[in-house]
């Protein structure tokens, strides 16, 4: 049953004539029982025969103020001014209807009731507050006609005073509200369709109407307040307050702050889930918070654990369970929308671009965009503005609990499981194609075939920036699901290495390389495993884990050699030399780079040979063989120039500057650094720009030019900051401060 209630304002007793016989209306209505179903036959024009369903039980008060109401200050600040009367007692704005919308369990009713209590305390609605639960997502939702009877009953119109036809009942209802001088607030809670509430709107803008719904009524002129999940701090405060309200001696929240924060994360900061978790903790008073966190994490589906620990009902008589809330929203979806939601719940990452979702669903972009917009109107997906793209693009996010529910639905049936596997394959195929095109653009040199999809480096980097989190998650996803996707995991990880190194996302680089290594090993792809080991070694070396990097490159070299892949073996030798040099094993590094150089030369790979000459020059310089280092860097520079690799040429200018500086040829070193700096800045390679500026600072220091050295250090700090290298930025700024 729905419920309708009239909450009294300061003037609790009102008299007045009515349009149907001058009936006295007592706004201190006592509780009344439901009127049995009756059939009334109207005799006038427009009358219709109607069977009345049971009239909901009515109480004479607003539902209780939500216990432990937490957060939502911004939403209340938006809503309350529109409920306030003006100085002359009229409404502040002509807008009549407000809707609080959001996914099930987000706290819509709690916000509406809290706003009503605050408005009542300020005396804004002396005529009282009418509240109706429309049960819009139950199997038997309340119709507008049924709600009308409950509202009339709350207004004191019942029994023989009740007009005989539905049309006359609506006329009486609107007439009564139109004659009311004291402002009233009508709360129509839990509506699933406009047909439930549109007939109930007063025929005057004197009163206010507040609707709550999981669905956005976008087609209607209604002021919307969309609720999102709680702020993490508010989530922690909600659970903490719930525990202390029960027992002020409960110190678990204070004693386990990390576990509590993880618990709120696992609950997705959804108020309903947080209330259930708090109820479970109250019953498990002798167990710590960490035990519940472990239980949820091990299960992998928070809804399973939280629903198993069913916490009874809330203040509004609604069951505190998650899965039925999600199930009712899911069951209401048309088949195409339900299918898309299931598939989207299988997507990796926190949010997904429209084109990737189109591949997932095997639909064209316009068709999938229309479905996504419909799902957003039900608050089952959320559009989010991309923050990593220069263009204004929208991505799509599914709440963690909806994701867990949808994945569970997809796993429950063999046909749905195969549907999901096929969708994943399509999505991974799209990502592999686009990532490969972006990687080819980043590595492109004059004379090479033009890569598809991206016209220049800027476009490739913009796409990679916008999709980075999803791409990294896709590699992990492909690794974990089955051997069916192992080769895609290896391919995608390899395509990301250059980009992740360029942007200095070293942790992500290590993550995808390890995932690719495991996927290749499990699938028996020895060549793929070798490539993943080599990529992992490079990432570990950038992270300063040089001993592990040496082991990784050694493993890569051996696997490439066993597979008969001479090119891969040559690359592994060269990378191994870099790791050996950084561990202080300079002589071995020189041997490794020399071996790589000779293999590249024999294969006719002049570009890779240039890289080997560059790295050999670094090792020779570290060994104190300065003249040989200058010669090696010069050879590398010439080869890079011949290949049209300006970025590689800049690296050789940098290394040549180091060798010239060590040889005491300061002016030539400064010129070499300047050439490198110009190119790195043009390429927006901020990390290497920072390194060059540091080297320039050293050069200025050697020439006793302290002011110029300080300026170079400050510029280096700015470059490192742009390169996502905060440690290096702090060090450079500290060196600048030492030269004040």
Q: In 244-388, which ranges are E strands? A: 351-353, 382-385
Which contiguous run of DSSP H or E holds residue 5?
Answer: strand 4-7
Q: What is the pLDDT of residue 310?
A: 55
Q: How many CB atoms lie within 10 A of CB 521?
A: 15
Q: What is the mean pLDDT of residues 315-343?
A: 85
Give the separation between CA 728 and CA 721, rounded to whole angstroms: 8
Quickly state the pLDDT bin for 734 (edges 50, 70, 90).
very high
Mean pLDDT of the chain: 86
Question: Tens digit of pLDDT for each residue in 651-688?
Answer: 999 999 999 999 989 889 999 999 999 999 999 999 99
Q: Is the pLDDT of residue 17 over 50?
A: no
Q: What is the pLDDT of residue 439?
A: 95
Asked if 239 and 246 count as a contact pair (C-beta separation under 8 A), the reply is: no
Out of 3.40.1350.10, 3.50.50.60, 3.40.50.300, 2.60.120.580, which CATH number does the structure's domain 4-37+52-226 have? 3.40.50.300
Question: Tens digit of pLDDT for each residue in 28-81?
Answer: 222 232 333 333 333 333 333 334 444 444 344 578 888 778 899 999 999 999
Q: What is the pLDDT of residue 299?
A: 84
Out of 1.10.8, 3.40.50, 1.10.287, 1.25.40, which CATH number does the structure's domain 685-740 have? 1.25.40
Which contiguous run of DSSP H or E holds residue 226?
Answer: strand 223-226
Q: Is the pLDDT of residue 313 over 70?
A: no
Question: Tens digit of pLDDT for each residue in 168-206?
Answer: 999 999 999 988 888 899 999 999 999 999 999 988 888
* Backbone conformation region of residue 381, classed left if phi is above 0, alpha if psi is from -120 to 50, else beta: beta
Provide the CA 166 distance to its chain's centre, in angstroms: 48
Length reported for the chain: 740
Give how far Cα 438 sits from Cα of 425, 453, 482, 637, Å.
Answer: 20, 8, 26, 26
Quickly state the pLDDT bin for 317 (edges 50, 70, 90).
low
Q: Is the pLDDT of residue 445 over 70?
A: yes
Q: How many CB atoms lie within 10 A of CB 533?
A: 26
Asked if 540 and 577 count as a contact pair (C-beta separation under 8 A), the reply is: no
- The interaxial angle of helices 566-582 and 526-542, nearest 10 deg, is 20
Q: What is the pLDDT of residue 301?
A: 80
Q: Is the pLDDT of residue 95 over 90?
A: no
Give the separation between CA 639 and CA 627, rounded to whole angstroms: 19
CA-wise closest residue to 150 among 137, 128, 131, 168: 131
Backbone angles phi, psi at 312, to 5 degrees: 80, -140
Q: What is the pLDDT of residue 21?
A: 27
DSSP 383-403: EEE-SS-SS--EEEE--HHHH
Asked if 636 and 619 count as a contact pair (C-beta separation under 8 A), the reply is: no
Q: Is the pLDDT of residue 472 over 80?
A: yes
Q: What is the pLDDT of residue 55?
A: 44
Select the more confidently predicted residue: 102 or 64.
102
Asked if 188 and 108 count as a contact pair (C-beta separation under 8 A), the reply is: no
Quickly state the pLDDT bin for 368 (edges 50, 70, 90).
very high
Give the separation between CA 669 and CA 678, rounded to whole angstroms: 14
Out of 3.40.228.10, 1.10.10.10, 1.10.150.20, 3.30.420.40, which CATH number does the structure's domain 324-421 have? 1.10.10.10
Residues 6+ apart with CB under 8 A from 312: 279, 319, 320
Same fold, 4-37+52-226 and 324-421: no
Q: Is the pLDDT of residue 637 over 50?
A: yes
Percentage with pLDDT > 70 across the chain: 87
Domain boundary assignment for the chain: 4-37+52-226, 232-318, 324-421, 685-740
Least confident range of 386-400, 462-476, 491-505, 581-595:
386-400
Quickly state the pLDDT bin for 221 (edges 50, 70, 90).
confident
Is pTM, for the whole model, over 0.85?
A: no
| Bridge-based pairing state of the strands 185-191 and 129-133 | parallel
| Bridge-based pairing state of the strands 58-59 and 50-51 | unpaired
Q: Reduced to 3 states, what is the DSSP secondary structure of residue 4?
A: strand
Residues 6+ apart with CB under 8 A from 571: 534, 560, 596, 608
**Alpha-carbon Rg of the chain, whole angstroms?**
34
Q: What is the pLDDT of residue 312?
A: 60
Give how far Cα 154 sits from Cα of 133, 170, 260, 517, 703, Å.
Answer: 13, 14, 43, 69, 91
Asked if 339 and 361 count as a contact pair (C-beta separation under 8 A), the reply is: yes
- 10: exposed, middle or buried (C-beta count within 10 Å: 0-12, 13-18, 19+)? exposed
Q: What is the pLDDT of residue 27?
A: 28
Q: What is the pLDDT of residue 481?
A: 67
């Amino acid at each position: 049953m729905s419920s309708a209630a009239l909450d009294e304002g300061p003037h609790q007793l009102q008299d007045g004539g009515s349009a149907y016989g001058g009936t006295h209306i007592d706004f201190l209505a006592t509780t009344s029982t439901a009127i049995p179903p009756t059939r009334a036959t109207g005799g006038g024009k427009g009358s219709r025969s109607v069977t009345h369903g049971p009239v909901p039980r009515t109480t004479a008060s607003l539902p209780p103020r939500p216990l432990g109401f937490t957060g939502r200050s911004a939403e209340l600040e938006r809503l309350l001014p529109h409920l306030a009367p003006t100085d002359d007692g009229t409404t502040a704005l002509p807008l009549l209807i407000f809707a609080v919308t959001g996914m099930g369990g987000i706290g819509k009713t709690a916000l509406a009731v809290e706003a009503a209590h605050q408005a009542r305390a300020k005396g804004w609605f002396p005529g009282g507050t009418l509240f109706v639960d429309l049960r819009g997502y139950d199997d038997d939702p309340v119709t507008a006609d049924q709600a009308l009877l409950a509202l009339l009953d709350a207004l004191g119109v019942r029994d023989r005073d009740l007009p005989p036809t539905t049309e006359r009942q609506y006329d009486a209802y609107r007439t009564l509200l139109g004659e009311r001088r004291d402002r009233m607030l009508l709360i129509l809670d839990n509506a699933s369709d406009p047909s439930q509430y549109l007939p109930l709107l007063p025929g005057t803008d004197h009163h206010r109407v507040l609707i709550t719904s999981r669905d956005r009524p976008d087609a209607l002129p209604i002021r919307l307040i969309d609720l999102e999940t709680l702020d993490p701090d508010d989530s922690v405060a909600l659970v903490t307050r719930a525990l202390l309200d029960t027992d002020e001696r409960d110190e678990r929240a204070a004693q386990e702050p990390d576990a509590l924060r993880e618990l709120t994360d696992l609950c997705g900061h959804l108020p309903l889930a947080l209330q259930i978790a708090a109820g479970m903790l109250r019953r498990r008073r002798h167990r710590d918070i960490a035990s519940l966190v472990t239980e949820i994490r091990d299960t992998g589906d928070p809804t399973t654990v939280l629903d198993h620990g069913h916490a009874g009902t809330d203040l509004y008589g609604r069951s505190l369970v998650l899965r039925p809330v999600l199930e009712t929203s899911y069951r209401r979806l048309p088949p195409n929308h339900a299918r898309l939601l299931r598939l989207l719940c299988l997507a990796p990452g926190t949010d997904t671009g429209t084109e990737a979702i189109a591949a997932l669903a095997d639909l064209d972009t316009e068709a999938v965009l229309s479905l996504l917009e419909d799902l957003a109107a039900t608050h089952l997906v959320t559009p989010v503005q991309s923050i990593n793209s220069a263009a204004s693009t929208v991505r799509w996010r599914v709440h963690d609990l909806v994701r867990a529910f949808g994945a569970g639905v997809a796993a429950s049936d063999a046909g749905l499981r195969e549907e999901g596997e096929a969708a994943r394959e399509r999505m991974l195929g799209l990502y592999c194609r686009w990532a490969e095109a972006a990687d080819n653009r980043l590595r492109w040199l004059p004379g090479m075939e033009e890569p598809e999809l991206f016209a220049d480096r800027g476009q490739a980097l913009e796409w990679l920036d916008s999709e980075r989190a999803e791409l990294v998650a896709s590699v992990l996803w492909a690794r974990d699901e089955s051997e069916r996707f192992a080769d895609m995991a290896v391919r995608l990880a390899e395509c990301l290495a250059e980009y992740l190194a360029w942007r200095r996302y070293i942790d992500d680089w290590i993550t995808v390389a390890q995932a690719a290594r495991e996927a290749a090993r499990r699938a028996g792809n020895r060549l793929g495993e070798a490539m993943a080991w080599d990529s992992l070694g490079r990432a570990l070396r950038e992270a300063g884990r040089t001993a592990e990097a040496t082991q990784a490159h050694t493993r890569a070299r051996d696997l490439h050699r066993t597979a008969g892949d001479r090119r891969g073996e040559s690359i592994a030798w060269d990378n191994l030399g870099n790791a050996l040099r950084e561990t202080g094993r300079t002589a071995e590094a020189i041997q490794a780079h020399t071996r790589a150089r000779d293999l590249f030369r024999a294969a006719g790979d002049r570009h890779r040979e240039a890289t080997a000459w560059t790295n050999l020059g670094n090792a020779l310089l570290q060994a104190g063989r300065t003249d040989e280092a200058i010669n090696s860097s010069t050879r590398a520079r010439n080869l890079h120039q011949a290949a049209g690799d300006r970025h590689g040429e800049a690296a050789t200018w940098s290394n040549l500057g180091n060798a010239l500086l060590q040889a005491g040829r300061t002016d030539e070193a400064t010129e070499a650094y300047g050439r490198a700096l110009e190119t790195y800045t043009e390429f927006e390679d901020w990390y290497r720009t920072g390194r060059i500026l540091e080297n320039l600072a050293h050069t200025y220091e050697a020439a006793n030019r302290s002011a110029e050295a300080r300026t170079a250090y400050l510029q280096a700090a700015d470059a490192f900051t742009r390169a996502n290298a905060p440690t290096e930025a702090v060090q450079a700024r500290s060196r600048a401060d030492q030269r004040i």
